[in-house]
């Protein structure tokens, strides 16, 4: 039986406060609720989900490097690391598996400095503005990309 493909779901600063932080902008779902839904779908799609959150840039860089060494796919909601964190971008460039960037809000409709994500330069794809559903769409996108790789259709 084939072992599940590793999938890191990495969350940046202040996302641990979802449900409390600006609910009019970010909604009322907590990160724990998003994690439960994401892990459930990942398991259904035969992905070994490792869901994490940090408020610290160096920790995020370490996790991305770990994902690269484990040949893991990555879904990242970089939050505040999106808009000026070159070390995170440089670490993401190490990845060889699909990298999907997720934002709860549509960053393109937000005021500066929230409109231009550096992370997008390394991402396979970007999902923004769909709230927590964006995580589930990202899991499906990773599963399809990995399936295409395995069948030689990438």
Q: Is the backbone peptide bond immediately before 102 cis, with ω within 30 degrees of 0? A: no
- Rounded Cα–Cα distance for residues 15 and 56 (Å): 12
18 sits in which H/E element: none
Average pLDDT over residues 65-75: 98
69 CB-near residues (< 8 Å, 6+ apart): none
In order of their start, the domains of the chain are 5-127+144-150 (3.40.50.9100)
Specify the pTM: 0.94
The single-letter DSSP state of residue 66 is: H
- Rounded Cα–Cα distance for residues 16 and 34 (Å): 11
Q: Quick count: other Cβ atoms within 10 Å of Cβ 35?
A: 17
Query: What is the SS3 assignment for 152?
Result: coil
Largest Cα–Cα distance in the chain? 49
> At 114, phi and psi to the nearest 5?
-95, 20
Rounded to 10 deg, the angle between the 31-44 and 133-150 helix axes is 30
Question: What is the model's pLDDT at position 125?
Answer: 97
Query: What is the SS3 assignment for 92?
Result: helix
For the annotated catalytic residues, the residue numbers are: 26, 103
**pLDDT above 70 as % of the chain:** 97
Each residue's pLDDT tens digit, 79-138: 999 988 899 999 999 999 999 999 999 999 988 887 789 999 999 999 999 999 999 999
């Amino acid at each position: 039986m084939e072992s599940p493909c590793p999938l890191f779901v990495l969350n940046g600063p202040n996302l641990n406060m979802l449900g409390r932080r600006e609910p009019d902008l970010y909604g009322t779902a907590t990160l724990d609720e998003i994690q439960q839904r994401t892990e459930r779908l990942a398991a259904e799609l035969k992905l070994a989900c490792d869901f994490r959150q940090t408020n610290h840039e160096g920790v995020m860089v370490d996790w991305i490097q770990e994902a690269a060494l484990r040949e893991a796919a990555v879904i990242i909601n970089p939050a505040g690391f999106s808009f000026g964190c070159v070390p995170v971008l440089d670490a993401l460039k190490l990845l060889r598996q699909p990298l999907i960037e997720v934002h709860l809000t549509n960053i393109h409709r937000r005021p500066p400095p929230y409109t231009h994500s550096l992370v997008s330069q390394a991402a396979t794809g970007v999902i923004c503005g769909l709230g927590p559903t964006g995580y589930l769409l990202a899991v499906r996108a990773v599963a399809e990309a990995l399936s295409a790789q395995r069948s030689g259709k990438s």
